[in-house]
Amino acid sequence: MTKFDFASWPPALTREQLEALTLAATTYSLSHGLLYLPPAPTQPPAPTSAIHAPISLFPAPVPRRLFTEAVALQSVYNVLYARIAMDTEFLDSVMGAEVGVGRADEFVGTLWKGWKAIREEGVVQPLQLGLFRSDYLLHTESEGGSLSLKQVEFNTISSSFGTLSERAAAMHRHLHASTEYYGLSSHLTADNFPSNNTTAGLAEGLAQAHQHYGASGSRILFVIQPNERNVFDQRWLEYELLKTHDIHIIRQTFAQLATSATLSSPDRKLLVNGHEISTVYFRAGYVPTDYPDPSYYQTRFLLEKSRAINCPSIPLQLAGGKKVQEALTKPGVLERFLSDSKWGTQYNDEQLKRVRGTWMDMWALDEDDTDALSSVSAPSPPSSSSSPSPASTSSTEPAGVRRALAQHASLVLKPQREGGGNNVYKSSIPPFLATLPPAEREAWIAMALIVPPKSVSSYLVRAGAGGTEGAVRSEVISELGIFGWAVFGGGEVKGEKEVGWLVRTKGTESDEGGVAAGFSVLDSIVLVDE
């Protein structure tokens, strides 16, 4: 078989074929719940209209060996981040407000201080639930070289688009079944469309936590943002939990919970409008704007100190910080979580090597010269000719800042934020660093940019409030996410599983990648052999 040519993807369509595929894709999406609420200043309590989610017409090509590797690694990552969330000493040192990121980041510091106070008061629920998503890009090792799998980030809170990604995959299978994509590509065969059952898998994780809680008649609480446009992605989980597991859901915002949520005494059962809650699933609370005043944090802490199992708990949310991702690259840290016998199951050197193989070079902006010399991360890509040399930067700056300035053309700077739109890229880095207060450097990491295959295209279809816009062919980058869950506590992982995937595709003109933030479309996979 000839080597797959990414630059030739997707096959060209005639105008008639493009119009037919667009109509088939959008009507399928509208008929099968691949939906968003339309943009509006305010949404009514009971929505009366919907639009299809942003979608692609062709699935994104992903090498079969790399997809298989990403799926296989998810269970290791599930265990890794569960163990990080159970290691209080480590999280205090990396994310805390006394010696860690929380000193420089008020949002992180406030969450950590609340968690510390709850620990001092006494944690009544040792179990935690994680619904995870590990995000990857294909990386070109060298010009014309082989591809590898590189991790963008690991998500521990509000890992969204699981249910809609399943429907995007079904939509592409439908297009193939109904049109065979006009016979335009030998790669578009039924056996190259991998199955995706993310809805059932994520619901299984929530149901496992509910069962561990063990109270008959209890319910799962979804903590949601007001005026949520991505409501259908959440509703499909709600429907699956009721249909398959006979578990009822309560949906509430932080503002609603301020008056509806109480703790029973003395056992601290969480009651919402009189209903006992087994599990709290956060689809809000990951950005500072979710806490417009201090009372919202107090509501979050009320949920955390209850007997309900939190998904995520505050320590698990903190474990998803970019600073933790960077700390894992330092000598001995990965071994702390995967090789130490105190955790029970240990992973061998080959498994650790495979995990490390998914990482790009990264470092802290406040890294000093001693830290830089001890780093064992892979070498950074060479900087472009427009980058300042290390000698041109002030020697009084930390080594991490000097290195970021020298290599800015091939870097991204990341804060401890989720939701898209937070990072600083390439030429924007020097002016940003010139204005970043030294006290805030600890809240940022630098990461070498992943280099995806060049000249890959797709047909992107977005819907507006007034109807469907036509498909636009654009040069794109596709990001693969693998979902998993873990129930854990007391130093032990009670259960974990890899449960599906998503693909988000964006135009190359955009550095950011969030669907909800408006940068990407939902996509799926066609497996290809290199």
Please check if 450 is assigned to a binding site. Answer: yes
Please check if 230 is assigned to a binding site. Answer: yes
Please check if 158 is assigned to a binding site. Answer: yes
Annotated catalytic residue: which of 83, 103, 133, 269? 133
**Closest CA relative to residue 107, chosen from 296, 283, 363:** 296
Q: Decide if 414 is catalytic.
A: yes
Annotated catalytic residue: which of 83, 219, 402, 414? 414
Please check if 160 is assigned to a binding site. Answer: yes
Q: Decide if 419 is catalytic.
A: yes
Annotated catalytic residue: which of 114, 304, 504, 520? 504
| Count helices and strands in the chain by DSSP H and E runs | 16, 23
Please check if 305 is assigned to a binding site. Answer: no
Terminal alpha carbon distance of the chain: 8
Please check if 416 is assigned to a binding site. Answer: yes
Cα separation, 377 vs 359, in Å, equals: 9
Please check if 422 is assigned to a binding site. Answer: yes
Please check if 119 is assigned to a binding site. Answer: no
Please check if 504 is assigned to a binding site. Answer: yes
Cα separation, 127 vs 493, in Å, equals: 9
Q: Decide if 418 is catalytic.
A: yes
Please check if 465 is assigned to a binding site. Answer: no
24 Cβ partners below 8 Å, 6+ apart? Answer: 174, 175, 178, 179
Annotated catalytic residue: which of 268, 336, 419, 518? 419
Please check if 469 is assigned to a binding site. Answer: no
Cα separation, 422 vs 364, in Å, equals: 17
What are the φ and ψ backbone dihedral angles of 276, each rounded to 5 degrees? -70, 135
State whether the Cα torsion 271-277-278-281 is positive or negative.
Answer: negative
Please check if 414 is assigned to a binding site. Answer: yes
Residue with tokens 């936590």: 209
Please check if 418 is assigned to a binding site. Answer: yes
Give yes or no for a contact between 66 and 149, defined as CB atoms under 8 angstroms apart: yes
Annotated catalytic residue: which of 56, 134, 160, 196? 160
Annotated catalytic residue: which of 83, 103, 150, 322? 322
Which H helix or E strand runs over 448?
strand 445-448
Cα separation, 464 vs 82, in Å, equals: 40
Please check if 284 is assigned to a binding site. Answer: yes
Annotated catalytic residue: which of 204, 238, 418, 498? 418
Tokens of 524: 């799926």
Q: Decide if 98 is catalytic.
A: no
Helix (H, G, I), strand (E, B) or coil at 9: coil
DSSP 372: H
Please check if 415 is assigned to a binding site. Answer: yes
Give binding residues for Mg(2+) as ranges: 153, 155, 418
Residue set of the binding site for substrate: 133, 157-160, 228-230, 234, 283-286, 504, 515-516
Binding-site sequence positions for ATP? 153, 322, 414-423, 425, 447-450, 479, 506, 512
Binding residues: 133, 153, 155, 157-160, 228-230, 234, 283-286, 322, 414-423, 425, 447-450, 479, 504, 506, 512, 515-516
Residues with active-site annotation: 133, 153, 155, 160, 322, 414, 418-419, 504
